[in-house]
Every structure is written in C-alpha cells, then in structure tokens.
C-alpha cells in the first residue's frame, strides 16, 4: 500500500517542478505531456483555464451565495426575453389576421371605390411604423401591395418615405421585391431619381443576385437616358463608379468614354470581366441592362475574352436573352463568331422554341442570321425549318414570324427589313473580325465584295446612318464557307419548305391577300422568289396558286353589302387589289391566267375604285403579250373616259 501511494505521488512531484530533465515531451507537440493529460489529483485544477471568467464579487456577498444568484438572474432574463418574443409574435400574428381580413374585403371586384378607399386607409394606418417588416412577410406583403395599388397619392408617398431607407435590403427579399417594383412604377420623377442614386455602388452586387437583379432591371427600364447611363457606367470601371459626373449623356458608347477620359483599356476590361463572369456563371442573363453591358464589352474585348464569353453563352442560355434589341445582337454575334460546335449548341438550344423565337421582333432576326451564316443546313432543317413548317400559317400572317420566310425568298430586301435590322446583321466583334474577313475572302467570288465586307465589319456598332438604306442588297459579314445561293437552295427548296409554303398560300389565298403582312409572302411566292428560285421545280404548284387567286377574282361582285357577307371582294379590298396589281406587272404567267379565267369580258364592271387599278395594270405591264391581251377590250373604256390610266402610260401607248 505504501508503495502504491508513492507511485501515485510521483507524477504529483514532477508536476510541481516543471522544467527538470525528467520531463518527457511529445515529438509532435510543443507542450509537455502532463499539460495534455487530465490531472489525477483534484488540486491540479489550478492548471485549468476557466471557460468563463468569474463574476466580480460584490461587497457583502461571499462566493457561495454569488454563483447561485447569477444563475437565477440568467434564468429570469431568458424568461423575460422569451415572453417578449412571444408577445411580439402574438401581436404580429394578430396584425396579420386583421390585415388579411381587410384584404379579403378590399380585393373584391364588386366593392365600391369609396368603401375600398376606407379599407385601404384603415390598413395603411394599422401598418404605420411596421411597413419594412410587413413588406418581408409572406402574407402581409400582399396586403401592402394591394394597398399601394388602390391608396391615394399622399398615402403612397408616406409608404415610400418609410420604405426608402430600407429599399436596398428589401430589393433582395423574395416577397418584398414585388412591392419595390410596384413602388417604382408609382414613384414620382424625384423619387425614382433618388432611388437610382441610392443604387450607386451596389449595381454590380445586385445584378449578381437573382432577386435584386429584377429591381435594377426595373429601374433601368423606367429611367431616362441619363439615369440609364448612370447605372451602366458603374459597371465599366471603378473610376466611373466613384465619380459619376465624369460622364455625360453624349458619351453613350464605351469607346467614346474611354477616349474622352483617357482611361486604361486593360483596366476597364479587367473590371468588366470581374462584373460579367459571376453573372454568366449564375445564369442571370434575362435583363436588358446585362445585354447592353455585353454589347459594350465586345467592343473592347480581346480575342480570348470574347471567345470565352461566346462559349459560355452558346446553348439554351442564349435563347433567354434574344428577346431584347441588344440581346438579339449578342445572339447574332455569337452565331457569326462561334465555332461549328458552338453553333450546333445554339441551334439545339432552340429546339421546341423556334415558333416563339420567330414570333418575337428581336428573336426573329437571330433566326435570319442563322439562315444566312450556318453551313450545317441538315441540322438547321431538322431543328429550325421543320418547326417553321409546323406553324407556317401563323408565321405567314404575323409581322415578325414572316421575316425568316421572306429572307429565304428575297434576302436582305429593305422593304421587309428596317435599316436598323439590316445594320444589326452587319455587326461584328473587332477582335474577331480578322478571322471573319479571312473566311469571307475564301468563300466570296470577287475581291470587291471582300473589301466591302471588311468595311462593314470594322466597327461593332453600325448605326442607322452608316447603313445604306437606299440599296436593297446590303453586304453582310458571312461566317460560313458555303456559297449563299447553295445554302438558300438547300434550306428553302430541298428541305420541302417552299413546297409547303406554296400549298399554304394556295389554301389561304384570300386571307393572305387581304392581310397587311401575308400579302407580301404570297407575292414573293407567286413571283417565284428572288432569282426565280422556285420556278424550275415548283411550276405546277405555282400554276395552281395562280388559278386559286383567279377563282377568287372570278367571284361575282356583291352589289349590296349584307351582315352575312362582311368580307369585301378581292378586287375591292385595299391590300389585295394592290398585291394583285403588282403580280400582274411582275409575273406575266399570272397575268395571263387571271385575264383568261376571271377578267376577260368583265372589265367594264371593275373599271371603278380599287379594282380599276388592277385593270389598268394590264396596260402598264412591260410584257408585250400581257399588254396585247387586254388592249382590245380596254381601249374603248379608255376612249369613253370610263377607265383612266396615268399620262405617261397614255403617251407610251400612243407611240406604240
């Protein structure tokens, strides 16, 4: 027993004399072993560091009474906090119930304006002082939105004033974001300007946020040109973020800003890359402000940077951004400068969305660019052309949907595309334009066309003034190596699109001729397209179309318009009469079919009004056969003053 006691007391003695040679240290630890191990003696607690500092002793209380007193105080304090939270939750719940009850009444349709106004005022009064908290609530935020919709302007201003210090925080809240956008819609010019100024320094971070980006985009859409510029320049460089007054409204383009302020291009490029990359990685690319930034980025981007952005956008991601003007231009640049692999991803990403893209004003131009540039006609036929065929009638009658069809029938005709549309097709990325120029040099027929292509692609932003608005054919930067005429033949004729298009025109000839937009498609189809691309193969189908139009013209003229026959005769309609007149002038085969089947012997009946212009077109035709067909019957009408023709035509007829 004595020996055991001595063994136990051994470590105790060694602990009392640290630093002696008998101490053993661990090879991996700087501390001695006895500091790592638990002490066997209760008195060795002196070596422990207390987890919490002891409460300072108060006079008149010993240590034994002091510790139990602090525990009691802690319990009481925790209990008080729990009760206060419980009361706060109960008050909030009661307020929510009251607001929900008022909301059910105020949102009814059969309620009078006076009663709704009273309910809204009551709800706003109850929410006063708690509006920022209520705006973040799943239930109460809807009540607040309804109140903002129907309340008076003074109440709206009061709500806006209470929310103003918290707008940036609320902009990132899933429920409050709807209220913030509604408040911006109803904000005065001064309030909107104040909010846009409050975004200064936070635009880039908000654009990286899925919810916050919606608020920035909404403010961008509502702002004037100066306010839009204020939001944009912050994304260009840190200098412009700190000193917003450096840029005026005149310097809209990034290149102009860099040249005026003498900024370092490399510094601006680095800053914009740091802003754009996180946005692209998160897939937040639906907003027009981001599309504008990307367009400006491409003007200064180096070859590697531009190629990297094109790779990231190629695919389904691009479909989400081609609904805006700038987004459409970004899409066209990706198509023109992307590799064959990236173009394939873009086309496959459009699968099941081609109809919606074609019906969109901006999206239809991306389809036009695809049909002009991509060499893989089999893939385009499989994805794009087949979906166009399935919805052909809807597309032909739509202002935007007919654009890809008209482009295949008559490429780049200024009658069907605005100068801005044709200018957008001529855009290119400066750092990648050399590659495009070398490709076009290998695929074009003459060196003169190459020079015009280089001039067209020298700058990314081709303005409307720079575009040649008088000429029908504007040279476009081609990204493919295939001959444009061969590509057009494969996409329009060999794919079966042209045959289906002629059938649709034949089946719906009357509706298309009377339509403001469909008349141009049926005209291009009936004339055989630019260069007569339809004539050798589809002559029989075209003859059937001529006969279908002639049968409509041959229908008897209705003397009295009844409620049952609301449609005008095909020769008396404004659109159809002018289209038929153009077809007589430009298509001799149609003119002879129409005369023999519908108009021969009936010219006196149609000599007045819109139909008179159709009859006169036979004498205005440059084809002698068409002129000879009608001259015998029309000359007495002219001599009798029933039919009038332009003086120039009368003079030419007298010479003949």
Q: Could you tell me if residue 622 is inside a domain?
A: yes
Cα–Cα distance for residue pair 271/27, rounded to 1 Å: 50
Q: What is the mean pLDDT of residues 617-637?
A: 86
pLDDT digits (tens, 9 = 90+) for 591-609: 999 999 998 888 888 888 8
Dump the DSSP string for 180-248: HHHHHHH--HHHHHHHHHHTTTTHHHHHTSTTHHHHHHHHHHHS-HHHHHHHHHTTT-HHHHH-GGG--
pLDDT confidence of residue 86: 63
Q: What is the mean pLDDT of residues 327-349?
A: 95
HEC sequence for 592-645 = HHHHHHHHCCCCCCCCCCHHHHHHHHHHHCCCHHHHHHHHHHHHHHHHCCCCCC
Q: Could you tell me if residue 610 is inside a domain?
A: yes
Lowest mean pLDDT among 357-361, 513-517, 626-630: 626-630
Cα–Cα distance for residue pair 357/535, rounded to 1 Å: 30
Cα–Cα distance for residue pair 645/612, rounded to 1 Å: 9
pLDDT band at 129 (very low <50, low <70, confident <90, very high): confident
Q: Could you tell me if residue 609 is inside a domain?
A: yes
Residue span of the structural domain in which 508 resides: 496-554+569-640
Q: Could you tell me if residue 534 is inside a domain?
A: yes
pLDDT confidence of residue 87: 62
Cα–Cα distance for residue pair 514/574, rounded to 1 Å: 8
pLDDT confidence of residue 16: 45
pLDDT confidence of residue 39: 45
Cα–Cα distance for residue pair 332/334, rounded to 1 Å: 5
Q: Which of 204, 260, 252 is nearest to 228 (CA)?
A: 252
Joined together, the tokens standing for residue 196 give 């846009």
Q: What is the mean pLDDT of residues 212-234?
A: 92
CB atoms within 10 A of CB 441: 14
Lowest mean pLDDT among 17-21, 205-209, 505-509: 17-21
Whether the per-residue pLDDT at 650 is higher than 80: the answer is no
Cα 435 to chain center, whole Å?
Answer: 28
Number of compact structural domains in the chain: 1
pLDDT band at 251 (very low <50, low <70, confident <90, very high): low
Q: What is the mean pLDDT of residues 57-72?
A: 51
CB atoms within 10 A of CB 576: 28
Q: Could you tell me if residue 1 is inside a domain?
A: no
Percent of the chain having pLDDT more than 70?
Answer: 76
Q: What is the mean pLDDT of residues 194-216?
A: 93
Q: Which of 366, 399, 405 is nearest to 385 (CA)?
A: 405
Q: What is the mean pLDDT of residues 517-537?
A: 94
pLDDT confidence of residue 436: 45
Q: Could you tell me if residue 145 is inside a domain?
A: no
Cα–Cα distance for residue pair 454/476, rounded to 1 Å: 10
- Mean pLDDT of the chain, nearest integer: 80
Q: Could you tell me if residue 414 is inside a domain?
A: no
Q: What is the mean pLDDT of residues 313-319?
A: 92
Separation in Å, CA 347 to CA 344, 377, 379, 392:
5, 11, 8, 19
Cα–Cα distance for residue pair 173/383, rounded to 1 Å: 40
pLDDT digits (tens, 9 = 90+) for 445-503: 333 443 333 333 334 544 333 333 333 333 344 457 889 999 999 999 999 999 999 99
pLDDT confidence of residue 81: 78
Q: What is the mean pLDDT of residues 556-566?
A: 57
Joined together, the tokens standing for residue 341 give 């692999």
pTM of the predicted structure, to 2 decimals:
0.78
Q: Judge whether 70 and 57 are in contact, CB under 8 Å.
A: no
Whether the per-residue pLDDT at 541 is higher than 50: the answer is yes
CATH of the domain at 549: 1.25.10.10
């Amino acid at each position: 027993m004595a020996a055991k006691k001595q063994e136990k007391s051994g470590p105790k003695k060694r602990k009392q004399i640290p630093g002696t040679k008998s101490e053993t240290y661990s090879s991996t630890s700087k501390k001695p072993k006895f500091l790592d191990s638990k002490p066997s003696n209760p008195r060795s607690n002196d070596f422990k560091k207390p987890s919490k500092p002891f409460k300072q002793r108060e006079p008149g209380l010993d240590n034994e009474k002091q510790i139990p007193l602090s525990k009691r105080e802690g319990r009481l304090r925790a209990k008080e906090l729990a009760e206060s939270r419980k009361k706060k939750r109960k008050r909030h719940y009661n307020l929510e119930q009251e607001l929900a009850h008022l909301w059910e009444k105020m949102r009814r349709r059969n309620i009078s304006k006076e009663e709704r106004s009273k309910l809204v005022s009551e709800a706003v009064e109850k929410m006063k002082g708690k509006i920022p908290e209520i705006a973040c609530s799943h239930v109460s935020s809807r009540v607040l939105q309804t109140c903002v919709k129907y309340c008076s302007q003074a109440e709206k201003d009061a709500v806006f004033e209470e929310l103003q210090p918290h707008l940036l925080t609320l902009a990132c809240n899933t429920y409050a974001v709807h209220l913030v956008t509604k408040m911006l819609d109803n904000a005065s010019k001064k309030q909107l300007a104040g909010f846009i100024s409050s975004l200064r320094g936070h635009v880039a971070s908000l654009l990286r946020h899925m919810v916050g980006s919606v608020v920035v985009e909404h403010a961008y859409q509502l702002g004037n040109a100066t306010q839009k510029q204020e939001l944009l320049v912050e994304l260009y460089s840190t200098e412009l973020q700190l000193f917003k007054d450096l840029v005026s409204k005149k310097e809209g383009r990034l290149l102009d800003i860099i040249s005026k302020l003498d900024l370092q291009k490399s510094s601006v490029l680095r800053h914009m890359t740091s802003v754009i990359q996180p946005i692209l990685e998160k897939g937040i690319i639906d907003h027009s402000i981001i599309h504008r930034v990307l367009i400006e980025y491409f003007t200064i981007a180096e070859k590697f940077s531009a190629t990297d952005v094109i790779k990231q956008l190629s695919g389904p991601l691009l479909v989400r951004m081609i609904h805006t003007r700038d987004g459409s231009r970004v899409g066209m640049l990706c198509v023109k400068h992307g590799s064959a692999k990236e173009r394939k991803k873009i086309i496959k990403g459009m699968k099941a969305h081609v109809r919606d893209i074609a019906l969109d004003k901006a999206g239809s131009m991306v389809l036009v660019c695809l049909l002009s540039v991509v060499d893989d006609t089999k893939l385009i036929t499989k994805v794009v052309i087949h979906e166009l065929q399935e919805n052909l009638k809807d597309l032909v009658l739509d202002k935007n949907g007919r654009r890809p069809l008209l482009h295949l029938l008559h490429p780049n005709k200024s009658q069907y595309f605005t100068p801005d549309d044709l200018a957008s097709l001529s855009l290119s990325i400066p750092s990648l334009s050399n590659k495009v120029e070398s490709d076009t040099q290998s695929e074009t027929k003459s060196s003169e066309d190459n020079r015009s292509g280089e001039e067209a692609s020298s700058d990314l932003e081709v303005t409307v003034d720079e575009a040649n608005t008088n000429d029908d054919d504007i040279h476009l930067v081609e990204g493919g190596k295939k001959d444009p005429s061969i590509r057009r033949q494969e996409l329009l004729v060999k794919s079966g699109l042209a045959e289906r298009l002629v059938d649709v025109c034949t089946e719906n000839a009357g509706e298309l001729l009377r339509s403001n937009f469909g008349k141009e498609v049926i005209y291009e189809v009936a004339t055989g397209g630019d260069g007569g691309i339809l004539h050798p193969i589809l002559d029989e189908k075209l003859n059937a179309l001529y006969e279908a139009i002639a049968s409509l013209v041959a229908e008897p003229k209705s003397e009295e318009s009844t409620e049952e026959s609301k449609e005008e005769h095909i020769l008396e309609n404004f659109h159809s009469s002018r289209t038929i007149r153009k077809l007589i002038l430009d298509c001799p085969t149609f003119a002879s079919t129409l005369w023999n089947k519908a108009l021969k012997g009936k010219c006196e009946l149609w000599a007045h009004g819109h139909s008179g212009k159709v009859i006169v077109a036979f004498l205005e035709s440059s084809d002698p056969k068409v002129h000879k067909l009608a001259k015998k019957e029309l000359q007495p009408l002219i001599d009798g003053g029933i039919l009038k023709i332009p003086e120039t035509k009368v003079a030419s007829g007298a010479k003949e």
